[in-house]
Amino acid sequence: MHLAILSDIHANLEALQAVLGDLSKRLPEVPPRIVCLGDMVGYGADPEAVVALLRKLRAQAVMGNHELGVVKPGCRRFFNPQAREVVAWTAAALSGESHAWLAGLPSAMSIGGCRMVHGLPPDHPTIYLHEVSDPELVRILRLLPEECCFVGHTHRLAHLRLRAGVLVHALLGEGSVVLEPGVRHLVNAGAVGQPRDGDPRAKYCLYDTSSQVLEVRFVPYDAGRAAEKILAAGLPAAYARRLLPEQA
């Protein structure tokens, strides 16, 4: 099974379209299963178009903190004022069908022997990995039924390995790596639509569950156009600047 793992699209239609175009070129004859690790909406100007496209593609997805804020207004108090403004705007911009789809998302799922969750396994959409100590992460990974877990939320690529009780943190860059069998893996898939690593390209992961090869793809797209649409929608300019690190 080939999995295309996308996280933190954040209503960035240009980035999503570029990733899908790259995906069709990379695997033209074996369409992978598309999995979204949450935060498909928020920050960007095209929440309805992004969700409608993912629904059309029959993507499988888990709940992110931004989806949670959209479907549960009481959760918006956990966002900063700017983000809270965008969450409310997003909720109003979505169709009833898209809103219902988001409301029905699970907090986690298991696909191809891999756990999928937005924030912290086993199923938390709002906790960041850096908020948890290494001993607690070791405990969590040992209890998971899956050897491999994919997360998002931080917008930064990372790879944690638990081998013989020792947790090793490693950077994850463009290219391929084999996820060693018999070892627990926690992979942060980065961000499609709101990268925060200084590189404006959209990032996503391809994972072959048979060979256990993980490929990290960096995809250029028209970030300027996406930023212009954020400004035109009257959303906070900070979210437009994030797409263009050289202007931040």
Structure tokens at 215: 């490929």
Separation between Cα atoms, residue 69 and residue 90, nearest integer Å? 10
> Distance (Å, rounded) from C-alpha 60 to C-alpha 112?
12
Residue 164 tokens read as: 């013989």
Domain spans, the chain:
2-243
Torsion of Cα atoms, 99 then 192 then 26 then 216, to 10°:
-130
Question: Using CB atoms within 10 A of its CB, is residue 57 exposed (0-12), middle (13-18) or buried (19+)?
Answer: middle
Tokens of 224: 């300027």
Q: Please give the full DSSP string across 75-115, using - where no structure is assigned.
A: GGGGS-HHHHHHHHHHHHHS-HHHHHHHHT--SEEEETTEE
Q: Which CATH superfamily is domain 2-243 in?
A: Metallo-dependent phosphatases (3.60.21.10)
Q: According to the model, what pLDDT value does residue 108 have?
A: 98
Structure confidence at residue 29 (pLDDT): 75
Is the peptide bond preceding residue 236 cis, with omega within 30 degrees of 0?
Answer: no
Task: Tell me the pLDDT tens digit for each residue of 219-232.
Answer: 999 999 999 999 99
pLDDT at 177: 96
Q: Express each pLDDT in 64-79 by its tens digit.
A: 999 999 999 999 999 9
187 close to 158: Cβ distance less than 8 angstroms: yes
Provide the CA 232 distance to its chain's centre, in angstroms: 25
**Cβ within 8 Å of residue 66, ≥6 positions away:** 10, 38, 39, 40, 41, 42, 43, 87, 90
d(CA 227, CA 246): 13
pTM summary value: 0.96
Q: What is the pLDDT of residue 28?
A: 79
What residues in the chain have per-residue pLDDT under 50? 248
> Which pLDDT score is estimated for 248?
46
